[in-house]
Structure 1
């Protein structure tokens, strides 16, 4: 039987309860499987940089068994997402995927973090059609659905985005650090092969990073 859709809302900043977020995240994550954090977004837009910022913060702190895809240096975004998903078997086998992305929401929910037991659809708030990703998902609400989506992402407060990234990263570390099915060791995670990446122009974002095979 499919579990009912659940979404937990967490305020960021000083009101953020890391222990409660971590406990809920542990309850949604099955033991015994590698966990992959799919941090979606682009460093060319302030609001959309939430995912890569979280990946950047976690890439050298994650315990063994926790894999990270999507950082400031190597973002996973609308252009390269399908290819990145196709390449997951080369990073780890049968991972439990936690999708992380910026989102838009109600005006009174800006600055909140959501934790859901279902996947997310990247780009939905700005009218893009991308496949659903993740077994579960985490989002940071950086702008309002009432405005124009792309403008909301581009004009989001950097302070707000950094605050959300700090809270989410710290909550993830608390959830998985020292857990029985993870080894509490500092280690460098597998990297995408260098040849898999090169800079190419993308319409609307001349300096955007796009993944492609040489």
Structure 2
């Protein structure tokens, strides 16, 4: 891990409609994502064939449209990263000459009271877990969005999730990531200026 991210062991959680959610979420991202890593990759997992599971590719599409967000984005509405291709694509990413640092983004199911929560935590994400699929873990940092209730008929629940919720949560995550990147850059510039002035 590079110097730009702090070692955090507890998950950070925020409700997507909370006042100042994008700013607070950007704080979590600055704490946990090493923006100075030479091969930072954002893996946005899910499929556009399910309104609930579209959170990942929708976020990936939002990020891909941001010209000032310079990192590799894998998984968009146009080219989803899903159960059928994730093992092969993850292996390709990991075989890069520059060892990658993967940020995994995915929808998940949870308690009814937690719908709308965005969770950021260190360590891998387990794609397909909500629908009982056995897929290899992915990511050094995980970003999960609780889009609906878990525990019963998960496929149907994901299929019947409101697209508005998925869209808004993806928008909040992408805007917070962009803000975190810009804030990180400003910090680097300010530190550089401070060092120059001190010299």
Structure 2-normalised TM-score? 0.83
Alignment gaps of 5+ in structure 2: 1-6, 189-199
1:118 is displaced (CA, Å) by 1.7
Alignment gaps of 5+ in structure 1: 184-214
| Counterpart secondary structure, 2:53 | helix
Query: How well do the aligned residues superpose, as a CA RMSD in angstroms?
Result: 2.5
Q: 1 or 2, which has the higher helix percentage?
A: 2
Q: 2-side partners of 1:159 and 1:31: how far apart?
A: 30
1:119 is displaced (CA, Å) by 1.1
Structure 1-normalised TM-score? 0.77
Deviating 4+ runs (over 6 angstroms): none
Q: Which moved more, 1:21-30 or 1:4-13?
A: 4-13
Q: Give the aligned partner of residue 28 of structure 1.
A: 32
1:148 is displaced (CA, Å) by 1.5
Q: 1-side partners of 2:48 and 2:41: how far apart?
A: 20
Contact kept in structure 2, 1:62 and 1:177, CA below 8 Å: no
Matched residues, number: 182
Contact kept in structure 2, 1:10 and 1:16, CA below 8 Å: no
Q: Give the aligned partner of residue 147 of structure 1.
A: 152
1:4 is displaced (CA, Å) by 6.9
Contact kept in structure 1, 2:35 and 2:184, CA below 8 Å: no
Q: 1-side partners of 2:68 and 2:96: how far apart?
A: 16
Q: Give the aligned partner of residue 112 of structure 2.
A: 107
Contact kept in structure 1, 2:8 and 2:32, CA below 8 Å: no
1:156 is displaced (CA, Å) by 0.4
Residue number among 60, 64, 81 corresponding to 1:76 in the alignment: 81
Contact kept in structure 2, 1:35 and 1:65, CA below 8 Å: no
Q: Which moved more, 1:70-79 or 1:31-40?
A: 31-40
